[in-house]
Protein backbone atom coordinates (compact mmCIF):
# COMPACT_ATOMS: atom_id res chain seq x y z
CA UNK A 1 0.00 0.00 0.00
CA UNK A 2 1.31 3.44 -0.94
CA UNK A 3 0.95 6.37 1.48
CA UNK A 4 -0.63 9.51 0.04
CA UNK A 5 0.40 12.83 1.56
CA UNK A 6 -2.76 14.54 0.28
CA UNK A 7 -5.32 12.08 1.68
CA UNK A 8 -8.13 14.45 2.68
CA UNK A 9 -9.51 12.51 5.70
CA UNK A 10 -6.00 12.13 7.10
CA UNK A 11 -5.30 15.84 6.73
CA UNK A 12 -8.57 16.73 8.47
CA UNK A 13 -7.82 14.35 11.33
CA UNK A 14 -4.27 15.68 11.74
CA UNK A 15 -5.51 19.28 11.88
CA UNK A 16 -8.26 18.40 14.37
CA UNK A 17 -5.83 16.58 16.67
CA UNK A 18 -3.35 19.45 16.54
CA UNK A 19 -6.10 21.95 17.38
CA UNK A 20 -7.22 19.84 20.33
CA UNK A 21 -3.71 19.73 21.75
CA UNK A 22 -3.57 23.54 21.79
CA UNK A 23 -0.39 25.49 22.46
CA UNK A 24 2.20 24.85 19.79
CA UNK A 25 -0.20 22.36 18.21
CA UNK A 26 -2.36 25.29 17.14
CA UNK A 27 0.52 26.85 15.23
CA UNK A 28 1.32 23.51 13.63
CA UNK A 29 -2.36 23.10 12.69
CA UNK A 30 -2.25 26.51 11.01
CA UNK A 31 0.83 25.49 9.01
CA UNK A 32 -0.72 22.15 8.05
CA UNK A 33 -3.90 23.94 6.94
CA UNK A 34 -1.97 26.38 4.73
CA UNK A 35 -0.10 23.47 3.14
CA UNK A 36 -3.37 21.62 2.54
CA UNK A 37 -5.10 24.25 0.43
CA UNK A 38 -5.79 22.98 -3.06
CA UNK A 39 -6.14 19.30 -2.15
CA UNK A 40 -9.89 19.42 -2.70
CA UNK A 41 -12.73 21.91 -2.84
CA UNK A 42 -14.43 20.50 0.24
CA UNK A 43 -11.20 20.67 2.26
CA UNK A 44 -10.65 24.26 1.12
CA UNK A 45 -14.18 25.20 2.25
CA UNK A 46 -13.61 23.58 5.67
CA UNK A 47 -10.27 25.32 6.12
CA UNK A 48 -11.82 28.65 5.09
CA UNK A 49 -14.57 28.09 7.66
CA UNK A 50 -11.98 27.46 10.38
CA UNK A 51 -10.04 30.55 9.36
CA UNK A 52 -13.17 32.73 9.14
CA UNK A 53 -14.16 31.66 12.65
CA UNK A 54 -10.69 32.38 14.05
CA UNK A 55 -10.25 28.80 15.16
CA UNK A 56 -6.49 28.98 14.72
CA UNK A 57 -6.15 31.97 17.01
CA UNK A 58 -8.94 31.53 19.58
CA UNK A 59 -7.87 28.24 21.12
CA UNK A 60 -6.18 28.68 24.48
Can you give the pLDDT at residue 60? 52
Section 16-26 average pLDDT? 91
Neighbours of 46 (CB within 10 A): 17
Instruction: Confirm whether 4 is domain-assigned.
Output: no
Instruction: Confirm whether 53 is domain-assigned.
Output: yes
Instruction: Confirm whether 2 is domain-assigned.
Output: no
Note down the domain range covering 33: 9-58
Can you give the pLDDT at residue 58? 56
Can you give the pLDDT at residue 2? 60
CA atoms 49, 54, 56, 58: torsion sign:
negative
pLDDT in tens, 26-54: 999 999 999 999 999 999 999 999 999 99
Instruction: Confirm whether 47 is domain-assigned.
Output: yes
Amino acid sequence: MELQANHEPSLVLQIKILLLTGGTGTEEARRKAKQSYGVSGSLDRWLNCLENNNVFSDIV
